[in-house]
Copies of this chain bind each other. A is one copy, B any other.
Amino acid sequence: MSKIAILGFGTVGSGTVEVFYKNKNNYQKTTNAELDIKYILDIRDFPDSPYADKFVKDFDVILSDPEVTVIAELIGGNTFAYDCVKRALEAGKSVVTSNKELVATKGAELLKIARDNNVNYFFEASVGGGIPIIRPLQQCLMSDEITSIVGILNGTTNYILTKMLKEGAEFADVLSKAQELGYAERDPEDDVGGGDACRKICILASLIFGEHIYPEDVYTEGVTSITKEDAEYATSWGGAIKLIAAAQRITPAAANTAGPASGECLEISVCPCFVPLESQLSGVDDVFNAILVRGEATGEVVFYGRGAGKYPTASAVVADILNALKPDSRSLAWDEKGGESCVVDYEKQKHRFYLRLCGIGKAEVNGLFGDVKFLRRENAPESEIAFITQEISREELNKKCGNLNVLGKIQIMNVREV
């Protein structure tokens, strides 16, 4: 008999309990074990819940119960949740989680504690909701060398950008609508500022690079300054605007920067991009997520689905619970970074950019930026000019733009990343 404890009875927590009891009989068939949820930890009371008898308010009750072998941490954040996970692993209990913040900031440490205590720390639900990505990645990783991961990892921003592109709406209006529909939080900063996508790409990058990549080392740019005029230019250019999270191994020579003396570097970023229609990612609309993994032998593989939501996320949590119950689940692992970061300075990396300027002529643009590709949109004011630059670093670009009236500036998705 294996007993499970659920920490946090919010959206994902209650979904996890629901999915578990719906399919419990199947699980027992598959695992040949009697399973049950023994505790649900929450500070709130749920007297009317069919699981009312399982609620506890003291984590120590769970920790000191030797019957509990797996704990699902669905609290979020990295303070109380961190304390719970650490103590659970140290007590020899496996932990599964959807808490991307904790994995992205403390993953290496918690994975080491799990290894040292011969238990598992699984987090399939932390990236891509119900899309299986962590485990397939680990599987690809085993046999192949993964060279890059590029994805649309935040459903809220993707919903907003899709509406802006398809309906010609303004950012603020779509955001309000998304909040009404429950697709966006009351405080949307974490989504629209890129922070959520940043933590997710950190988790994926840490897995492929074998070294903890911290959110603060990642160039992160949100979508708040994108306008419907930018969206019109993206359409006329032949693509879509997407918030792209990308990580790829590069050699120090290709890094255009003084990287680590030896070994590989990692180029990692979260920023809105013009994505050409030829890319699989340009057609990923609304709240959907997609993750494109490129391996040396495997080639390109794309995983697509709902990146969030109560039941998709809950089903990933339950899958991790069942995996954690297996006697030998080889745990995922990456190391704490030692010394110099392997992350290159993204602002020194060369990309092409879309620029929308005001009060400057074509000749002056060519003088400043060389040969560019001018873009058109209907009803553009005479004073507006938009174009795609040659490859240039953000650093250089920002210098050149210093005295200009910049209305829009968006990276073109790198061919290497397409």
Contact = CB atoms under 8 A, between A and B. Distances in A.
A383 to B, nearest CB: 38
A316 to B, nearest CB: 7
9 contacts: A30-B142, A131-B301, A132-B136, A132-B301, A142-B322, A143-B322, A280-B304, A297-B312, A301-B303
| Most chain B CB within a 10 A radius of its CB, from A15, A30, A299, A312 | A299
Interface stretch (A50-58, A232-240, A326-334, A393-401): A326-334
A23 interface: yes
A392 interface: no
A408 interface: no
Contacts of A301: 130-132, 303-305
Given A280-B304, A303-B303, A140 B315 contact: yes
Interface of A: 15, 19, 22-23, 26-27, 30, 124, 130-132, 135-136, 139-140, 142-145, 280, 283, 295-306, 309, 311-312, 314-319, 321-323, 326-328, 330
A12 to B, nearest CB: 12
Contact of A309 (B139, B299, B318, B326): B299
Nearest to A303: B303
B23 A145 contact: yes
Given A19-B144, A140-B315, A297-B311, 5 more contacts: A130-B299, A143-B319, A297-B315, A300-B306, A301-B305
A311 B328 contact: no
Given A139-B319, A302-B304, A304-B304, A144 B23 contact: yes
A299 B304 contact: no
A292 to B, nearest CB: 9
A19 B22 CA distance: 42
A106 B2 CA distance: 35
B303 A142 contact: no
B298 A142 contact: no
A278 to B, nearest CB: 10
Contacts of A311: 296-299
A315 B144 CA distance: 6
A402 to B, nearest CB: 42
Nearest to A294: B305
Contacts of A304: 280, 301-304
Contacts of A303: 301-304
